[in-house]
Amino acid sequence: MDIESFIWMSFVCAMGAISPGPSLAVVLRNTISGGRIRGIMTGIGHGLGFGIYAFVAVMGLSSVLLANEQIFYLLQSASALVFIWLAINMINQKKSISTEENKHGVYRGFFEGFMIAFLNPKILVFLVAVFSQFIDPNINNYGRLIMAMMAGIIDTSWYVFVATVLAGTTIVDKFRANSLIIDRSIGMVLLMFAILLIVQKLSLETP
C-alpha cells in the first residue's frame, strides 16, 4: 500500500470512529460516572475489540464470518443483549458510588468498551468495506498487520481523547451533578439500539 492510500484509509477509519453511536455513549457515560481513568479504560477496551475485527478483516478471515449467517446473527443477538444489559444497569444506577465500586469500575469500563465493540458485527462490515478499497492484493502479512494495528490505534486514540478532554473540564462536573438523568438517558438510547437490532434481525428472518 502506498502512503497516499494509507493516509486516506486512516482518514476513513477516523471518520468512522468519530461518528456518534452506542460506543461513544458508553465512553461518555463511564467518563462522567467513573472519571478520566474509567473513561480511558473504556476507550482502550473498545480499541482492542475494534482491533481484533480489523485484524480479521484485513487478513481475509471476514468471509468466514460474514458468509455464515448463523454466526453473524449470533453476534447480532449478543450485541443486543449487551445493549440491554448496559441499558438496565444505567437506568437502575444509584447515585452513590463508593471508592471500592469506583476501583472495580475501571475494570468494568474496559470490559464494557471491549464488549460494545467485539459484539458488534457491523464494525466488521465497515472494516471490510474500508479495507477492500485500499488494500493491495500483493501486500504481505506484515503490511496487513500494520493496517489492522493502525485502525485499532485510531479507534483507541479517539475515545481516549474524548475521555481525557471531557474529564479535564467543568462540563463533566455539571454532568456528574445530574448523573442519574444522564445515566438513564443514555440507558434509554442503548435500549433503543437494542430494539432496533432485534427488529432488524427479525425482519431478516421473516420470509
Sequence-distant (≥ 6) Cβ neighbours of residue 48 within 8 angstroms:
113, 114, 117, 152, 156
* CA 65 to centroid of chain Cα atoms: 19
Residue 135 has a pLDDT of 72
The pair phi, psi for residue 145, each rounded to 5°, is -65, -40
d(CA 102, CA 94): 13
Q: Where are the alpha helices (DSSP H) in the chain?
A: 3-18, 22-34, 36-58, 62-67, 69-91, 99-118, 121-134, 141-167, 170-177, 179-205
Sequence-distant (≥ 6) Cβ neighbours of residue 182 within 8 angstroms:
29, 32, 175
Determine the straight-line distance between the first and last CA of the chain, rounded to whole angstroms: 43
Residue 83 in grid coordinates: 445493549
Q: Tell me: the pLDDT tens digits for 82-120?
A: 778 777 877 776 654 444 445 567 788 899 899 888 887
Q: Is the pLDDT of residue 1 over 50?
A: yes
Q: Tell me: the pLDDT tens digits for 13-71?
A: 888 888 877 888 888 888 887 888 999 999 999 999 999 988 888 887 656 555 666 76
Tell me the angle at which helices 121-134 and 69-91 cross, rounded to the nearest 10 degrees: 120
What mean pLDDT comes out for the span 160-177? 77
Residue 156 has a pLDDT of 94
Q: Tell me: the pLDDT tens digits for 133-160?
A: 777 767 787 888 888 899 999 999 999 9
Identity of the amino acid at 119: L
Residue 152 has a pLDDT of 92
